[in-house]
Structure 1
Amino acid sequence: MKKSLFFMFISFSLVLSASSTENSTKEGNELSERSDFVEESTIENTTSDQVRGESQNSNNLDLYSKIDKAVTRYEEYYDFSGAVYVGMKGEEIFSKTFGKANYDKDTPNTLDTKFMMASVTKQFTAAAILLLEEGGLLELDHQVTDYIPEITHWEGITIHHLLSMSSGIVNSDHRKLLENINKFLENSDVTPLLAPEESIGIYKDIPLNFKPGERYEYSNSNYLILGLIIERISGIPYELFLEENIFEPLGMSNSGYSIDWDIQDNKAIGWYKKSHFENEVYPIHFDYFLYHSSGGLYTTINDLVTWDRALYSEKLLKKETIAKMYAPYTKISSNDEYGYGWFTNGDTVEHSGSVPGFISHIYRELDTELVIIILSNNESLVGGVLDILTNDLKELLQVKSDD
């Protein structure tokens, strides 16, 4: 199978995401954007305030123990399964794993267990684009039609618009997009793995949602298209470009593109429970590579720690280039804006992700160099649970952050 096929995600998985199956999340198989912190959880009628109160009632404990107690409460109440890391300025404050990587084999999660990144992938795609810019191979104000001329109504959309979620191109779960995919699949000459030129054609008769640059709208299509641009400029598959230019130079040896997920060792299996009170765990098997440059990468806690530290150096990108990733470009709310692959709020950048079986979250304070990384292989933690946990950990770390 040709690994460089772009929009394998569009050509097949979106049809799956349009249908409701027992193994899909309630929100469908699309990647999640950052959720606002919710005031209470609907999981088994347990409120987040109850969990927070019990986990933080630990004044006599040291910071590590307080964090451990906080996360353990989420394990008890919400079946949290995965890995958590908290650090500051390169110093580890807390790292621990919870639950099983594989319940059938009774394999525990470890700090080197591989989890799907989901939408955390987007910051790596953004970094790849910025590497091409530093190399003089593109400019952010170049139009998308410079590389994809066949979609004429995309004239006026720039690479900057794709990066900042302000292009107006419809999201990957758009009704018309799904209809066009079904038309392709009804043609006996079309296989589920479409070539790039065929895949991009499904957008041809779909108008933009708004004028490019007019406003913010989260759309996975933006980052799928960026993946194609990376391939067309570099002349190599997306995954090979990231391997040669990001993962290998940084020593992220346990990160990659999930085209070979089925044969990966030391990986977590995504799962869910029908009820918190039942013991049976239902594994989720999915072709995660279909998410491509929008959400198809996998990683480990340890590799994401390496990634965090690299972004405070110039090992990968110049400091002025990294600053472009964090700059606020499109306003989401009174406080939050979208940069390039990051939600940004002052000196804080973060991103969440969700694919079938996996939830992820990375939170970073650029002034204090605080980082909170959470990877989970329990799909039941949708609905902002990881955001709430992140917020709880931030409160526990407030004193240290102020030091």
Structure 2
Amino acid sequence: MKKKTKTTVFISFFIILVLLAMLWKELNILFIPSDYNNVDSMAEVMMKKTSTPGVAMVISRQGKLEYKCYGYADVKHKKKINEESLFEIGSTTKAFTALAIILLEEEGYLYGSDCVTDYISWFTPTYNGKHEKITINQLLAHTSGIPPWSIRLIPEGTKANMLERTIRNISTINLESYPGTKHNYATVNYDILALIIEKITGERFQDFVTDNILLPLGMTESYFSTGHEKISNNLPKGYKAFLGNSVEYRAPRYNGNIAAGYLVTNVKELGFWMNAQLGLGDIPVKLKRAINKSHEVDKESAGYEELNKYYSYGWNHDTKNGVISHSGSNPNYSSQVIMNLEKQEGIFVLANLDSSAPTQIAYNTYKNMMVSR
């Protein structure tokens, strides 16, 4: 019995050491100075320290686009990342979903003050045992009161009804805070928005966004990953970190969560998206007006994060510096976008591993862009 106990203790101690080593590796990145000789060397260091196989980035300076690609789309076959490599962009998808809501509001199909139950009658969450109504604005700002752990209620699967199944799974959830009183990021808020879009338009969410946002911006290679699409040769293998290395990983599919995290695109087309956000390029007037609105912060309805920082319309807003940003994290892909609206500069970084590399690369690059101006 004592021998068994010692073995159990040893195994537990070993597991703790491994986990601490992995955590230290990630934490160490946060304290790396940003005075690199160039962006390339910095990106390579970040990739190495996070075991990230491949990274692609696009930088926009007053509309001029620059692409940088590093590492592998397929490690085993030494296939390189390029500017047309497609990535799941995770939660940076949310800005597209919010923009779809704004387009419908501009056409008079809905209002931000509308309640979810106006469109989904069976959605009846509770707070302190009482049914409470949640508004569209509260979903957009993550002030609905829906807890972050609700992501665990998203069912795995690729059937056509997965979006409604996802929302039904949370339809009677106990709210963590009274709607409108506290910012608490919950990815399913944007899945609810997707179902509202479908109820209003009679179209699939992905079709509405494709026709009204992606195609008008020239994002013809971009699509929402539902699990039914033909896998493109431009889609890099996804990887997962394991004991300090990256291993190929085929992640489960969540068709009910595509509005919150499963747009697939590349840095070439994200350059079009960024320039549209920066007020550059020839885009339809209606879409341009909606984009401008997505940059506005109504402090009464936006999610308050900290001093001068709010969440609204799928963006983290730094109102003091005129910067919008967002990160994205899926099981085997990750992303980070940062844009300075006033200076018309931005950067979008994608990776085929869920790691901190895109965030660190983006912020170090952005910092150097600001210093070198």
Cα deviations by residue, 1:3-24 (Å, 9 ceiling, x for unpaired): xxxxxxxxxxxxxxxxxxxxxx
1:347-362 matched pairs, under 5 angstroms: 347-362=322-337
Percent identity, aligned pairs only, is 29
Cα distance 1:400–1:287, how it changes in 2: closer, same or farther (>3 A)?
A: same
Q: Indicate how the Cα distance of structure 1 residues 152 and 271 shifts in structure 2: closer, same or farther if over 3 A, else same.
A: closer
Alignment of 1:34-45 (within 5 A): 42-43=24-25
Find out whether 1:267 has 2:235 as its counterpart.
Answer: yes
Structure 1: which 5+ runs fail to align? 1-25, 27-40, 59-65, 186-190
Aligned with 2:311 (options 311, 328, 338): 338
Partner of 1:209: 176
Partner of 1:107: 79
Deviation at 1:318, TM superposition (A): 5.5
Describe the superposition over 1:89-141 as per-residue Cα deviations: whole angstroms up to 9, x where unpaired: 1113x421111112233321110100001101100000111111112211111
Q: Which amino acid aligns with 2:225?
A: S
Once the 2 structures are TM-superposed, how far is the Cα of residue 148 of structure 1 from its aligned partner? Answer: 0.7
Runs of 4+ in 1 over 6 A off after TM superposition: none
Q: CA distance change for structure 1 residues 90 and 173 in 2, over 3 Å: closer, same or farther? A: same
Q: Which runs of 5+ in 2 are unaligned?
A: 1-18, 126-130
2:63 maps to amino acid: G
| Contact in 1 for aligned 2:210/2:223 (Cα 8 Å) | yes
Q: When the two structures are superposed, what TM-score results if normalisation uses the length of structure 2? A: 0.81
Query: CA offsets per residue over residues 293-340 of structure 1, 9 Å max, x none?
Result: 111211100111101112215536465543432233121122421011
2:124 equivalent to 1:143? no
Structure 1 contact 144–155 (Cα < 8 Å) conserved = no
Q: Which amino acid aligns with 2:61?
A: M
Q: Of the candidates 256, 260, 265, which is equivalent to residue 294 of structure 1?
A: 260
The Cα offsets for residues 319-375 of structure 1, whole Å up to 9 and x where unpaired, read as 554343223312112242101100000200000010111010110000001111100
TM superposition shift of 1:192: 7.3
**Cα pair distance change 1:70/1:211, threshold 3 Å:** same
Cα drift, residue 46 of structure 1: 4.5
Tell me if the contact between 1:257 and 1:289 (Cα under 8 Å) persists in the aligned partners. Answer: no
One of 261, 276, 284 as aligned partner of 1:310: 276
| DSSP 3-state at the match of 2:350 | strand
Say whether the 8 Å CA contact 1:144–1:158 is kept in structure 2: yes
Aligned residue-pair number: 337
Distance 1:230-1:392 versus aligned 2 partners, 3 A rule = same
The answer on 1:157 being equivalent to 2:134 is yes
Instruction: Tell me the C-alpha RMSD between the 2 structures.
Output: 2.9
Q: CA deviation at 1:196?
A: 5.8
What SS class does the counterpart of residue 33 from structure 2 fall into? Answer: helix
How much has 1:389 moved relative to structure 2?
2.4
Tell me the CA shift for residue 398 of structure 1.
Answer: 1.8
Alignment match, 1:52: 33
- Give the TM-score of the pair, scaled to structure 1: 0.75
Distance 1:173 1:157, change over 3 A: closer
Q: Superposition pairs for residues 171-210 of structure 1, below 5 Å?
A: 171=148, 173=150, 177=153, 194=161, 199-210=166-177
1:155 Cα offset (Å): 5.0
1:246 maps to 213
Q: How does 1:113-132 map to 2 (within 5 A)?
A: 113-132=85-104
Of residues 39, 42, 56, the one that matches 1:67 is 39
1:98 to 64, 70, 76: 70
